[in-house]
Structure 1
Amino acid sequence: MQQDQMYIDGQWIDAAGRQRLDCTDPYSGAVWASIPAGTAADADRAVDAARRAMTTGRWAALSASGRGRLLRAVADLITENADRLAGIEVRDNGKLLAEVQGQITSVAECWHYYAGLADKIQGATIPTEKAHAFAFTTREPIGVVAALTAWNSPLWFATVKAAPAMAAGCAVVVKPSEFASATTLELARLVEQAGLPEGVFNVVTGLGGDVGSALVDHPDVAKIAFTGSDATGIRIYQSAAKSLKRVALELGGKSPTIVFEDADLDLAAAGVMSGIFGAAGQMCAAGSRLLVHAAVKDKLLSKLIELASDIRLGDPRDPHTNVGPISTPPQYQKVLDYLDIARADGARCVLGGKPADGPDLGAGQFVEPTILVDVRNDMRIAQEEVFGPILSVIEFEDESEAVKLANEIPYGLVAGVWTTSIPRALRLSKALHVGTVWVNTYRSYSYMVPFGGTKRSGLGREHGIEAIDEYLETRSVVISTDDGPPVNPFIMR
């Protein structure tokens, strides 16, 4: 069985308390590896290493172009090790191999993208009203960053936090989910191989209550970048506020997919399927609410039932599998609990609705792709994030009702709009209270396009140029050009 260690200050070490946590393959149910169960002492050691890297270490002395060269080396190593990384992530969280392979290609490209931005960070000269002053700004790294990541796409989440932070000149401590830490530790091996200075990139594994809380409360952490549930995000926000730490929170969603009467229903059906059944619905951007115009509801529902009935559940390593297992036992139980809640509230199941079983389903941590009708927008199944393969269908009569239904939730991450009307697409892109609107597509992520939410879906943006700004502060400098003494030192000039 694989026995991993943490990576702190350029060294591979065990946890201070010598305790360990098992890693379980969600498909087979077998324990395949173990990771250190880190402590507050381990978190403190990692933060101290990151602080020294930014102040007195080789990282602090590097030029921006030098940082970029090192990040490019990381990107190249990710490409060289893509197949191995994909296999590890599938074993750790049960995501489809085909999807993970594509995502790792984007991971490498993302590192290249921020490597290219490292020496494009610029300040500005500022003309002022003062005749004898020269003013300019510089952009400075914000400080030590604690990156707390989720289990559904651990390598991606570590990348979209660490790459822009490091491009900005910050040092990073990553605390991956205890359910999926393996690929983040593999990333640390590649960072080490690429020759990055010690302390720049650290990985502390363990439980959130032990390591995560210690990082959030640490006085030398300047920023928390978190991906996970809104409940945990709120607790982090509250704790960070005590010391005025910056935060970036990429949280949950209850995203609407809105299908109008003029939509291409074949394309819409495929998009709805991808949005809720892809990755077994274990996505913050899952399109879990289908808002469909009354005129096409029955026709679209028939298409969805037909398509979803042919979904193949099974081994995520099998190229013929469409949907893999639920990643963790607590999440599996949560999905089943929400099915009971939905039925109790009056929703009716027209497809699926129970645990899936069969000879090809390994340890059995599978839920049937489920479609619910007779759903009201005020039901818990329509208001609360499930993170599983459950689609709630809600009918609307006109555009204004569709917008009202879409916005009447506590979340605001993404929305999908299916229409052939460009004016309508533009109207909805303005009217929907979300961070991203996808039109006639879904799950169309890009590391070049800012991503993040409104309301309980979070704060700040990842991806794109905006992400590097999350890790920079503006410093203003004013230099007097007057050679003589002030006429009156008590009056500002």
Structure 2
Amino acid sequence: MYINGEWVTSKSNLVREIVNPATNDSIATVTEGTIEEVERAIQAAKEAFYKNGWKLTYARTRANLLLKVASKLEERKEEFAMLETLNNGKVYADALNDVEDAINQFQYYAGLATKPHGQTYDVPDEIRAMVVREPVGVVAQIVPWNYPLVMASQKMSAALAAGCTVVIKPASQTPLTLIRLFEILDEVGFPKGVVNLVLGSGSVVGNTLANHPDVDKISFTGGTSTGIQIMKDAANTIKKVGLELGGKSPNIVFADSDFETAVDYALLAVFAGQGQVCSAGSRLLLEKSIYEKFVTELVARAKKIKIGPGWEEETEMGPLISKEHLESVLRYVKIGLEEGAELLCGGKQITDGAFAQGNFMEPTIFSATTPDMRIVQEEIFGPVLVIQVFETEEEAIELANGTNFGLAAAVFTNDGAKAQRVIRDLQAGITWINTYHPTFNEAPWSGYKQSGIGGDLGTYGFEEYLHTKQINIALNVQPSGWYKG
């Protein structure tokens, strides 16, 4: 761990084995933090912010540090990408894209740090009224295992650009690229206590961060149930909360869409990242008139997806993150069958030959679903697609909005007006027309309903780490004259 500018191990001597999900072989051993280490990290961040002047550093100073991080990450991007593949299981090309995103995030927020973010107002009085934005203080950040480097980078770069200090916890399964990133943060010279890395379980480290009175804001990306608990814990001290949670995102395909494009993106929407993506298009809504043709092509192509270890060049879909998560996804397959859904393909773990030791699963597609089924309503977070059928635009919208989630959604149609109407009525924070998955660091990432509050990325993500302060200055200094005596 990295606390107050020093590399440390837990005084408890507890350790955790980190495994490669493609083989389940151990690839690292990391220290396991306790409440004591969390307390030390928080106090170091508090002292750096309030006593040692980090909040008063020039924006240009903060920007230069972030640019140095981006430069050094660029120099080591292949190393980071391979480490992400080994630790997370994702395809190497995807991991390399993640590193490129992380580099861009540090560059983007370095630029944003020096841009104006204050206002003045013309008020009907001899008063100069203004608003300034100030860093919120000590920020706790908890990142998930599906995008270990990207999620950490987008949260840290925004918070540091705003002038906050950071205590960050990676997912227990995937700490390796964040440890490497802290090597860079240490090398470029962030002052002691400004950035702190604590490893450990959510039940120990995460709970302490959420409940601690000296943490001014907590930013969490992960499952909805955990997010709900963090929100409850944070309420005890009324700290700012940012939650990016689960999804069950609809991908709506109308009959007038480009057929090949729609099929291609229906596959990408759900099977990219093994389906372990919060914004995955895990519900495919098909107009009835194209159902038979579309499903025939979709299933045929799903069966051809090349599955294997992420480091092999031809691999298109890697393993799931862990044995436990694989078992969870397989349980949902069983639930779907018990509920009466029709399994069109997949549904099994792959155990042949070289796959025997890894967490590999077939691409899985269900049809004949109803809105009340658990496989339609609940986030499975794996390579499992459920198909729903509609006949009218209004029915498509009703089905699309028919879950507790509202993270992402897509519409495929060649009717521009229809696309705009449907997007307008969808309850989702990230949407696409005739594409799926491309997002950009310049644009906000946030959800509706139980997919979260607040958000990351863009200017909106930057403002999440700032307070607004109103300042009123008298231009004509004299008594108010209110009291007559």
Bin of the TM-score, shorter chain as denominator length: over 0.9
The aligned runs of 1:467-478 (5 Å cut-off) are 467-478=461-472
The alignment partner of 1:302 has SS state of helix
**Residues 1:127 and 2:122 are matched in the alignment:** yes
Residue in 1 aligned with 2:35?
Answer: 40
Q: Offset of 1:129 from its aligned partner?
A: 2.3
Deviation at 1:265, TM superposition (A): 1.3
- Are 1:464 and 2:458 matched, yes or no? yes
Aligned-pair distance for 1:366? Answer: 1.1
What is the CA-CA distance between 1:303 and the residue it aligns to?
A: 1.2
Of residues 52, 57, 70, the one that matches 2:52 is 57
> Which among 315, 335, 338 is matched to residue 341 of structure 1?
335
Residue 362 of structure 1, CA deviation: 5.3
Which residue is 1:284 aligned to? 278
Q: How does 1:41-440 map to 2 (within 5 A)?
A: 41-57=36-52, 59-131=54-126, 133-361=127-355, 363-440=357-434
Matched positions, count: 485
Aligned-pair identity (%): 38
In the other structure, the counterpart of 1:23 is: 18
**Which amino acid is the alignment partner of residue 422 of structure 2?**
L
**C-alpha distance after superposition, 1:249-290 (max 9, x if no partner):** 010000011000101111011101111111110000111110
Q: In structure 1, what is the Cα distance between the partners aligned to 2:55 and 2:440?
A: 30
Q: Tell me, what secondary structure is at the counterpart of 1:18? A: coil
In the alignment, residue 90 of structure 1 is paired with which amino acid?
A: T
Where structure 1 has 5 or more consecutive residues not aligned to the other structure, the ranges are 1-5
Shift of 1:388: 0.4
Aligned counterparts of 1:60 and 1:354: Cα–Cα separation in 2 = 53
Structure 1 CA distance for aligned equivalents of residues 32 and 251 of structure 2: 40
Deviation at 1:489, TM superposition (A): 4.6
CA distance in 2, matches of 1:237, 1:247: 7
From 442, 447, 450, the equivalent of 2:444 is 450
1:259–1:417: 8 Å Cα contact kept in structure 2? yes
Contact 2:351–2:357 (Cα < 8 Å) also in 1? no
* Preserved contact between residue 127 and residue 134 of structure 1 (Cα < 8 Å): yes
Cα separation, 1, equivalents of 2:53 and 2:473? 30
Q: Match of 1:32, as an amino acid?
A: I
CA contact (8 A) 2:319 2:361 kept: yes
Distance 2:143 2:253 in 1: 33
> Which moves more between the two structures, 122-131 or 98-107?
122-131
Confirm or deny: 8 A CA contact 1:27 1:362 kept in the other structure.
no
C-alpha distance in 2, partners of 1:485/1:388?
A: 68
User: TM-score, normalised on structure 1?
Assistant: 0.97
Q: Once superposed, what is the RMSD of the aligned Cα atoms? A: 1.2
How far, CA to CA, are the matches of 2:179 and 2:299 in structure 1? 41
2-structure distance, mates of 1:454, 1:397: 26
Amino acid corresponding to residue 88 of structure 1 in structure 2: L
Distance 2:116 2:298 in 1: 47
| More displaced stretch, 269-278 vs 351-360 | 351-360
CA contact (8 A) 2:55 2:135 kept: no
Question: Matched residues in 2 for 1:129 and 1:58: separation?
Answer: 37
C-alpha distance in structure 1 between counterparts of 2:320 and 2:96, whole Å: 19
* Alpha carbons 1:50, 1:173 under 8 Å: kept: yes
- 1:56 to partner: Cα distance: 2.3
Structure-2-length-normalised TM-score: 0.98
SS in 1 for 2:436: coil
Amino acid at match of 2:132: T
Q: Cα offset for 1:242? A: 1.4
Match of 1:441 among 435, 448, 451: 435
- The separation in 2 between residues aligned to 1:467 and 1:82, in whole angstroms, is 24
Residues 297 and 57 (structure 1), Cα distance of their counterparts in 2 relative to 1, 3 Å cut: same
Secondary structure (helix, strand or coil) at the match of 1:136 reads strand
Residues 315 and 360 of structure 1 are in contact (CA less than 8 Å); yes or no, is this contact kept in structure 2? no
1:490 Cα offset (Å): 7.8
2:15 is the alignment partner of 1:14 = no
Q: Which one-letter code corresponds to 1:217 in the other structure?
A: N
CA distance in 2, matches of 1:437, 1:89: 27
Q: Aligned with 1:366: secondary structure?
A: coil
Distance 2:411 2:354 in 1: 36
Could you tell me whether the CA contact under 8 Å between 1:313 and 1:361 is conserved in 2? no
Point out where structure 2 has 5 or more consecutive residues left out of the alignment. none
Residues of 2 paired with 1:152 and 1:134: CA distance? 49
Kept in 2, the 8 Å contact 1:315–1:362? The answer is no
CA distance in 1, matches of 2:309, 2:402: 38
Deviations for 1:168-191, whole angstroms, at most 9, x for unmatched residues?
Answer: 000111111001011111111111
